[in-house]
Amino acid sequence: MSEREQAQSGRSRIRRNLDRGAYDRETLNDILDAGYMCHVGFDTEHGITVIPTLYVRDGNSIVLHGSTSSGMMRAVRAGKSLTIEVTHLDGIVAARSHFHHSINYRSAVVFGRSTEVSDVIEKLRGMELLVEHITPGRWNEARKPNDSEFVQTSVIRLDIEEFSAKVRGGGPGEEPEDLESDYWGGVIPVRTVLGAPEPDPVNVPRMGVPDSIRASISKWNRLKDESS
């Protein structure tokens, strides 16, 4: 589907603040790659459910994992579609009028076909991708899933078929007459950072903080620096 065709689709078409919308892959990938947690919406026997979960982008797909008995997995097995949403909060925008208060953000909504990964090698690769996305190098610095853990965990692959992204940056939009007032206007930046690692007090390893944990902090802070 072309960007023009996507823009005309009812479920992904942006209807307000059109100047903030984007339908290009580069914008989408930047938003997805900068995050670790998404919200997934799906239909259940109790109505629409939305849950938070970890994710990783793998090319033109999004990889999720969860319990084999979870509602999300039951929805996938029943052939129901998933909707994935990711948002980064970058700032609180304080305008000179209440009406023009806003936030700076980057967000994406993704639609596509979802399948449960049944191939053992691909399933293990999906687990590794997720671990490595969050903690680079950790796959080889911790115990691999045993047979029981492997069976209890499901991996889902969602092929990105349709999406829309929205981005807002900069200062407040003001009415011309408000610019002459004495009210303060501006932006409060929002930046989440990873702190110093805190080892589990039970059997603290003598080797200290491993490379994967240091890499996690470096990666996260780099992503935040790039987005600021």
- Sorted by sequence, the CB contacts under 8 Å of residue 106 that are 6+ apart come out as 30, 31, 34, 87, 88, 90, 165, 166, 167, 227
Alpha helices, DSSP H only, in 17-163? Answer: 25-33, 71-77, 120-134, 147-152
pLDDT in tens, 158-211: 999 999 999 999 999 998 998 999 999 999 999 888 889 988 888 777 778 899
State the pTM of this model: 0.87
- pLDDT-based confidence at residue 3 (cuts at 50, 70, 90): low
pLDDT in tens, 71-118: 999 999 998 889 999 999 999 999 999 999 999 999 999 998 899 999
pLDDT in tens, 22-49: 889 999 999 999 999 999 999 888 899 9
Domain 3-89+104-170 has CATH 2.30.110.10: yes
In this structure, what are the phi and psi dihedrals at residue 220, rounded to the nearest 5 degrees?
-60, -45
- Sorted by sequence, the CB contacts under 8 Å of residue 38 that are 6+ apart come out as 52, 53, 54, 55, 62, 64, 84, 85, 86
